[in-house]
A and B are shown apart, each in its own frame.
Chain A
Amino acid sequence: MGKYVCKRLGMALLTLLIITFLLFLLVRIMPGNPFPSERMSAEQIANKRAEMGLDDPILTQFIRYMGNVLQGDFGKGTSLYNGAPIRTVLSTAISNSFRIGGVAILLGTLVGLALGITAALNKGRFLDGFCTVFSILGVCVPSYVFLIFLQYTFSFRIPFFPYFFDPTRFAFSSVIPAVSLSLFTMSTIARFTRNEMVEVFDSDYVRLAEAKGMYGRNLVMKHVLRNALIPIVTVLAPLVVDLLTGALVVEKIYGINGIGKLMVDAIAGEGIDYNYVLALGILYSALYIGIMLVVDLLYGVLDPRIRVASKGEEA
């Protein structure tokens, strides 16, 4: 197991390094001059370039940049937030986004599981139908549409929740975005749980357990759910990633200072802020690869067959 984890971790880090280098390269080969040339003489520009290390080979520049990044220094923005250090802007953004996103994932997973289990236990009855309709709706409608709907209903028509995000009342004003973000996760997990559980209920070993006299919660929790959960873990990774994407628009609409809104501001504003694009690109890639890695390893923990198969591959 240890060897497997090390191998996967190494691969993930290598991939991240390659992606970071490509991003760095792409941003650096952008045409354009960082200095307004009409105000500075050619000599001044040359001096400034040498001072900032722009004449060094690209690899040297990359290594220097990575060294800074590892210390948490992403440089300064070129147009956003008046050139404030990216680090400070990013740390608030990450904390905002992660808190709301975490709540959304938790809410989506728990309620989704509950819905799926209820539907599977009531297969073919009204609750099952309700769950099906709900999950279809949740998958077909983007999260920002739910947000717009909730915002219109519960902030504009019935002014109960704040219309925009208010950092001073964090918990209260993050209800609407968290709920709307969680709906996609919720419906996907509900659907998967239901289908997997129905399938497991039909399997021979559950029939055996029933024949031996097991019933009720014991049967569902120990025999059905444990095996139904394994495939659900695999959908969790793409769901988290979809949530990150959804959070982009949700944060933009609801005015949350998170990484999603930062990304939108960096690419969709008047001028594109290269440094933010680079920093956020690295952050998103690291998140994405990290999530994939964790889910892969989790999958190995939950299902011993995977572990064995991967060991066979190594040998």
Chain B
Amino acid sequence: MIFGIPIQAFAGQLLVGLINGSFYAMLSLGLAIIFGLLRVINFAHGAQYMLGAFIGYLVLAKLGIGYWPALILVPVIVGLFGIVVERLALSRLYEVDPLYGLLFTFGLALVLEGVFRYVYGVSGNPYPVPPALAGGVNLGFMFLPIYRGWIVVASLIVCLGAWLLVEKTKFGSYLRAATENPKLVQAFGVNVPVLLTLTYGLGAGLAGLAGIMAAPVYQVSPLMGSNMIIVVFAVVVVGGMGSILGAILTGYMLGLAEGLTKVFYPEASSIVIFVIMAIVLLIRPAGLFGKDA
């Protein structure tokens, strides 16, 4: 018993919090990467996450392509979709107020959500847990479904990989340099427009990857993205978008905070992240890891 709550329930909710936190981390990471370079808040991030889950669901149902190949295939498709969007539309909006990027991607999110609602309805579709990760283990104090454990591990790997890509590779150093001063980087012979396109594709691909990973945990539904994106926005406000590591950490922390609230005061669990956001705004308006005021 912890504070009068059975330890199984406590650990179970913490695990749920950690799972949610994994998705918050992956999604806010993508948002931060895109925002860092493109100065665009990608409202379609939730829709691209939904798209990832749906493509995974569809290739399984129609083509019999299972979870493991989908883990590669889905991010590539969603990433390519992002590249097309960036080339056709977003690249025309860099010169105007960044708010237009937000509005455009908002429209895109509405269209994507609308199309899937129209074709598949609002009810959720189940996606089976891959056989290799089915079942669970008894940890003594709680029962851990293996797939959930996998999500936590995989999301940590993805976040770490993205962080290494940005901080330790040549591509990453171009990306960081272009974030600081795009004109100068262009003058050094780096093709900045291509870099922008690739970055948006990368961010969208990450959202797609989060989507296919989420498919066996949550129901695959057209509404799964819009429910997620607003919370992720709050996460991004709390973390500040200046640092990639900050976005990742904040994601996990707020997921855990949400899980804890479910244990002690379930009524507030849907709003606790917003409350934390408000408190952070009072104390540190720039966000926990933010440099820009």
Q: Do A and B come from one complex?
A: no
User: B-side interface residues toward A, CB under 8 Å?
Assistant: none
